[in-house]
Amino acid sequence: MYVVRPVEIADIAALEALAAVTMPGVHTLPKTREKIAASVERSIASFAAHVDIPSEESYLFVLESLLDKSIAGTAAIFASAGSNGTYFSFRNDVIQQVSRDLNISHSVHALTLCSELTAYSQLSGFYVRNMEQAGLEAALLSRARLLFAVLAPHRFGDRFFVPLAGITDANGQSPFWDALGRKFFQMDFLDAEKVIGGARNRTLIVELMPHYPVYVPLLPGDAQAAMGQIHPSGELAFNLLTEEGFEADDYIDIFDGGPILQAHKHALRSFTGSLTRRVVAGVTPSRTGLKVHYAVASGAERNFRAVTFTCDALEAQDTVGLPPELLEALAVAEGDSVICVRI
């Protein structure tokens, strides 16, 4: 059994151990202890801050085992992707070209450098230990960030996006980067990622990347094939996000061509399907025998907690009966309110 909670200073060593694992699908988890500590401190300050308008806040969550208190995963959400500069991506466009003299018209797929995601809130840094065997805890970790946004909507924008790592070869090189970005940055993909630190809002991007549409048919076949495709390590995250309501048609990453999923909050299940229920101490006996898995979240700000719970469908009930261990994990008592959403 697991709980998702805000990161704490005491988690730094555990995060350092997680970061030591090769994670091609996670651009945003720092690799050094100093950067991890800075990320944790920034998150703690963000949870403590009084927020009127989303800005530079970043919120880092950990997946903690209730059995042995070990840290089994991380996930983050940034209040505003462009708080430290414009967030750049490639937009998939279709350009219509017509020659009246030749009586020819056709459509061309093009990539246009854009900054349309700048004001969105960004989900990132999703990683679960032993991801191949992950169960409900992975869905809990992915969804908990959005449940926090449901409880504290003033901290986030109305739209969210998630960049996922694109295709790379056995040496970590990207065919999309080799065909496009390398021509302008004059460096390998991994070197470019190190320089930019996984960020997509650095000034050097707009200084070096092409400002005019890139005609996709002019790119090599392997680069075209990599566009919008996810790295195998990102398949779990992709499946969880698309089940949530995210879509992946409009934008791709400017470095590796990986998909960028985006959605308005009213298209996301965590916002549209969450139920507020009053807590009752003790598990309510099943009436139907048909069990439903829920993510259950409580608190806001620094006291946020989220767990999984299996019970009868809550749509026709006003209360949810929770066992003592979950009451403790959520830091709630009988009569308090929690939000519940199916997972």
Fold of 273-342: Barwin-like endoglucanases (2.40.40)
Q: Quick one: pLDDT at residue 171?
A: 84
Digit-by-digit pLDDT tens for the chain (343 residues) are 999 999 999 999 999 988 887 555 555 577 788 989 999 999 999 999 999 999 999 999 999 999 999 999 999 999 998 777 788 899 999 999 898 898 899 899 999 999 999 889 999 989 898 777 778 999 999 999 999 999 999 999 999 999 999 999 888 889 999 999 999 888 888 787 777 766 665 667 778 888 899 999 999 999 999 999 999 888 999 999 999 999 998 999 999 999 999 999 999 999 999 999 999 998 878 777 788 999 999 987 779 999 999 999 999 899 999 999 999 999 999 999 999 999 9
Q: How far apart are CA 157 and CA 169, in angstroms?
A: 35
Give the burial class of 121: count Cβ atoms within 10 A of its Cβ; 0-12 exposed, 13-18 middle, 19 or more buried.
Answer: buried
Q: What angle do CA 272, 156, 134 make, to 5 degrees?
A: 65
Give the burial class of 113: count Cβ atoms within 10 A of its Cβ; 0-12 exposed, 13-18 middle, 19 or more buried.
Answer: middle
Residues sharing a CB contact under 8 Å with residue 267, sequence separation 6 or more, in sequence order = 245, 247
And the tokens for 237? 């995250």
Evaluate the CA torsion angle 120, 257, 148, 12 in order and state its sign: negative
- Give domain limits for the chain: 82-118+158-272, 273-342
Per-residue pLDDT tens over the stretch 282-314: 887 877 778 899 999 998 777 999 999 999 999
User: Are the beta carbons of 330 and 296 closer than 8 angstroms?
Assistant: yes
Output phi, psi for 19, to 5 deg: -65, -20
> Taking the CB of residue 285, how many other CB atoms lie within 10 A of it?
7
